[in-house]
Amino acid sequence: MTNTLVRVAEVTEEAIGIRGLRLVREDGAPWGPYEAGAHIDVVGPTGLLRQYSLCSPPDDPSSLLIAVKKEPGSRGGSEALHTVKVGDTLEIGEPRNLLRIADGTVRHVLVAGGVGVTPLLSLAYELHRRGDDFELHYFARNREQAAFAGLLEREAGFPDRVRLHFGVPRAEQPMLLKEVAAALPPEAHVYTCGPEGFMDQVGAVFSPVVGDGHVHVEHFVAAEIDTSGDQPFTVELDTGEVFEVPAGKSILAVLNDNGIEVFKSCEEGICGSCVSGVLEGVPEHRDSCLSAADKAAGDQMALCVSRARSARLKIELY
């Protein structure tokens, strides 16, 4: 995919260790609308590529907004983006989406933990634009660590839909969330992003009410994978080419070694860029990007981390 050259038009300190970068096209052209919940690849000053959620209104043609948290022990990705200034240029990829708004739903609940508010902010903008029934619950240790808290309260246009929860201990959060879940109809949908333990709690509270398929999760961190029991298998492309995938290599690596071009980005099962169709066979899902419903359907998989439960897979590259 072709990257776009962008210029940093504004830098804001959104919270402790979190800065907002507002990006405009270097060629001055307007942005087309993107699908709420999307993220982009960003190539920073050090050349490292990282993924960041889009936080601006999806239909705003003037700019795109991302938030970058400076991670402890950063290998140069988030740390480098904390050095950029207004006027600096970056390269970004096209928006990709793994956290889509469910259609035909009477109610939506967005539950954010810390910097996990970033993908949910664009969902809230879009739901508000549509006039849909939704509420956003945002948990943070304190106001100083809550990115976009002021925007949500005063500028976003839907302060009555926002519930800010500061300083609620992790152990007490499920009780608060159960009160929210108790008022939901079974056809409601829940969207969550934040630390893994936080999202686990959200799923545990809401899944019994709306079902696993109605709880949508956005991951920022790759899941730990046990590869000790990996077995070789065969993968066939829909073009008829056949390759053997050994225990020590991913499908993506084998295809790359054989000159098959597959779009890739994180290579950790988070971004979804290498997700491809499964035509035959049973995938063993190890990614953190596909939803529970997608995995249950078994008709697509992330080639960078997932493997096969069957001796053979036939796949279609997207």
184: in domain: yes
Given 166, 185, 218, the domain boundary residue is: 218
Q: How many separate domains does the chain show? A: 3
Domain of 75 in residue numbering reads as 4-97
Evaluate whether residue 303 is within a structural domain. Answer: yes
Would you list the DSSP string of 182-250? HT--TT-EEEEES-HHHHHHHHHHHHHHH-GGGEEEE-SSPPP---TT---EEEEETTS-EEEE-TTS-
**pLDDT of 49 strictly over 90:** no
Same domain, 213 and 250: no
Higher-scoring residue by pLDDT: 222, 78: 78
- For residue 227, being part of any structural domain is answered with no
Does any domain span residue 156?
Answer: yes
| Cβ(112)–Cβ(194) below 8 Å | yes
The reply to whether 65 and 144 lie within a common domain is no
Confidence of residue 22 (pLDDT cuts 50, 70, 90): very high
| 209, part of any domain | yes
In this predicted structure, the answer to whether residue 224 has a pLDDT above a threshold of 80 is no
pLDDT at 223: 67
* pLDDT mean across residues, the chain: 92
φ, ψ of residue 80 in degrees (nearest 5): -65, -40
For the domain that residue 116 is a member of, what is the CATH number? 3.40.50.80
Distance CA 91, CA 78 (A): 15
Band of residue 296 on the pLDDT scale cut at 50, 70, 90: confident
For 127, the token pair is 């739901």
| pLDDT, position 222 | 62
Bridge-based pairing of strands 38-43 and 96-97 is antiparallel
Say if 102 falls within a structural domain: no
| Residues forming a β-bridge with 217 | 192
Q: Can you tell me the mean pLDDT for 244-269? A: 90
Q: How far apart are the first and last CA of the chain?
A: 12
Q: CATH number, domain at 269?
A: 3.10.20.30
Where is 293: in which H helix or E strand?
Answer: helix 292-297
pLDDT at residue 72 greater than cutoff 90: no
* 237-273 as b/e: b if 16+ CB within 10 A: beeeeeeebeeeebbbbbbeeeeeebebbbbbbbbbb
- Region 51-55 average pLDDT: 93
Domain end among 47, 64, 97: 97
Please check the confidence at residue 303 and state whether its pLDDT lies above 90: yes
Cβ atoms of 37 and 90 closer than 8 Å: no
Compute how many other C-beta atoms are within 10 angstroms of the C-beta atom of residue 13. Answer: 11
CATH number of the domain at 76, please.
Answer: 2.40.30.10
> Which amino acid is it at 130?
R
Is the predicted pLDDT of residue 76 greater than 70, yes or no?
A: no
Radius of gyration from C-alpha coordinates of the chain: 20
Residue 1 confidence (pLDDT) = 57
Cβ neighbourhood burial of 21 (10 Å; 0-12, 13-18, 19+): buried
Mean pLDDT of 209-238: 87
Q: Is residue 88 domain-shared with residue 116, that is, in the same domain?
A: no
DSSP element (H, E) containing 252: helix 251-257
On the question of pLDDT at 75 being above 60, the answer is no
On whether residue 228 sits in a domain, the answer given is no
Separation between Cα atoms, residue 119 and residue 45, nearest integer Å: 23
Q: Does residue 206 register a pLDDT over 90?
A: yes
Query: Among 29, 111, 119, which residue's Cα sits nearest to residue 67?
Result: 119
Which of 188, 218, 248 is the endpoint of a domain?
Answer: 218
* Residue type, position 286, single letter: R
pTM over 0.85: no
By percentage, how much of the chain surpasses pLDDT 90?
Answer: 76
More confident residue, 57 or 228: 57
**Residue type at position 129:** R
Distances (CA, A) of 107 to 129, 175, 184, 291: 14, 21, 8, 19
Same domain, 140 and 60: no
